[in-house]
Structure 1
Amino acid sequence: MSVKECDHHTGRKRILFQRIFWGIIVFLFLVLLTILLIWAILRPTKPTFILSDITVSAFNATQPNLLTTNFQITLMSRNPNDHIGIYYDRLDTYITYRSQQITYRTSIPPSYQGHKEVDVWSPGVYGTDVPVAPFNFQTLSQDQSNGNFYAIVKVDGRVRWKVGTFISGHYHLYVQCPAYISVRNDGTGVDMGANGAYIGANVVKYQIDRRCSVSL
């Protein structure tokens, strides 16, 4: 075989590889463009969260720099999208005071939320002898003496979007729900306050019904 024939075959292979390569690139581009167009047309909207109520059965800040609490919260989540479902792959809820976490994290079971669906979760959130920074404990004790406690219920998780058979990658979900709670100023339990109702011995349920901020 002559040198010219070898060069001829090598050139044909190079052209064939280039065509295959660019064919794959164009195909992937069209697939991504289709997904982006569908995404832009459907315009996914982040879910809405409402903190419905908080039940308090323990709130004790009498020990120096230690806090014991026991809450049960009710959260409502709504998917506002007409054609997009939401996978809640991980949801952890906890309570903070002045940017410090004062309860353990409680996991909410994974779930799928269909179009326009509403889910209701009622996890228990608590902490036993949780260390509190001295500067926070001082204001916390003062709040308890005053009978009012301001907290933020937080939800930290990961979600995915479902459009038809397409499922997106994970997105970080961050929810904040502010809440004012009345607490008994002698440290022995909780007080009913203006928006509470006794449902048991030293157990008070507070109606909050406040919309939460949601970030994705």
Structure 2
Amino acid sequence: MTAKDCGHEDDERKKLHRRLLTASLAFLLLVLFLILLIFLILQPSKPAFLLQDATVFAFNLSSANTLTTTIQVTLAARNSNQRIGIYYDRVDVYAAYHGQQITLPTLLPPTYQGHKDSAVWSPFLYGDAVPVAPELGVALGQDQIAGTLMVNIRVRGRIRWKVGTFVSGGYHLYVNCPAFINSGGRSVGIGGGGEVAVKYQLIMDCHVDV
């Protein structure tokens, strides 16, 4: 075999590799385009969350600026998509007050939500002697005087979309639910160390980011 024949074979192999690479890229772009087209046609919408109620067992600030909180909340999520299902892979719920997290995250069970389907969770949120900034105590005192305090119930996690047999990659889920609670003093166990649990019917829409 001459050097000319070897060079010709090398050129053919390079051309073949280029063609295979071009075909692979074209196929990948076609798949991505089809996925994008399907999502545009289906118009996926993010799930809607609703905070239905909150039962307050404790919301007590100590003289050492530690806050003990026990709240049970009822959260409802609805998938409004007609052709898209939603996998909730890992979802945590916690409470925040004036921007500060006051309970540990509570992990919800993994859930699949079908088309136009709803899911309801009723997790307990606990915070035992959580150190808080001094200004938080001032804010709590002001809210008690005003008669209402706002606790934010927050959800964070990862979800996936399901279209037919196709399942997307993970997307971050962020939900914020404002809960306006009557701070009725010691008799209802909010801010004053009472032992009576009080259930509040809230029916509050939540802000959802995906």
Q: Which range, TM-score by smaller chain?
A: over 0.9
TM-score w.r.t. structure 1 length?
A: 0.90
Residue 202 of structure 2 is matched in structure 1 by 208
Relative to structure 1, is the Cα distance of residues 186 and 204 closer, same or farther in structure 2, using a 3 angstrom cutoff?
closer
Q: CA offset at residue 95 of structure 1?
A: 1.0
Find out whether 1:126 has 2:126 as its counterpart. yes
Distance 1:186 1:142 in 2: 15
TM-score w.r.t. structure 2 length?
A: 0.92
Kept after mapping to 1: 8 A contact 2:60/2:190: no
Q: Give, as a single letter, the amino acid of the residue that structure 1 aligns with 2:53.
A: D
Long gaps (5+) in structure 1: 192-200
- Give the SS at the match of 1:173: strand
After superposition, the CA RMSD in angstroms is: 1.7
Q: CA offset at residue 149 of structure 1?
A: 1.5
- Give the SS at the match of 1:45: coil
For residues 89-117 of structure 1, what are the alpha-carbon distances to aligned partners after superposition, in whole Å with 9 as ceiling and x for unaligned?
A: 11111111111111111111111111100
Relative to structure 1, is the Cα distance of residues 137 and 71 closer, same or farther in structure 2, using a 3 angstrom cutoff?
same
Distance 2:7 2:103 in 1: 74
Distance 2:108 2:75 in 1: 11
For residues 168-205 of structure 1, what are the alpha-carbon distances to aligned partners after superposition, in whole Å with 9 as ceiling and x for unaligned?
A: 111111101111111332487249xxxxxxxxx71111
Aligned pair count reads 207
Q: Give, as a single letter, the amino acid of the residue that structure 2 aligns with 1:202.
A: V
Find out whether 1:37 has 2:31 as its counterpart. no
Matches within 5 A, 1:75-90: 75-90=75-90
% identical aligned pairs? 50
Residue 96 of structure 2 is matched in structure 1 by 96
Q: Give, as a single letter, the amino acid of the residue that structure 2 aligns with 1:172.
A: H
Residue 22 of structure 1 is matched in structure 2 by 22
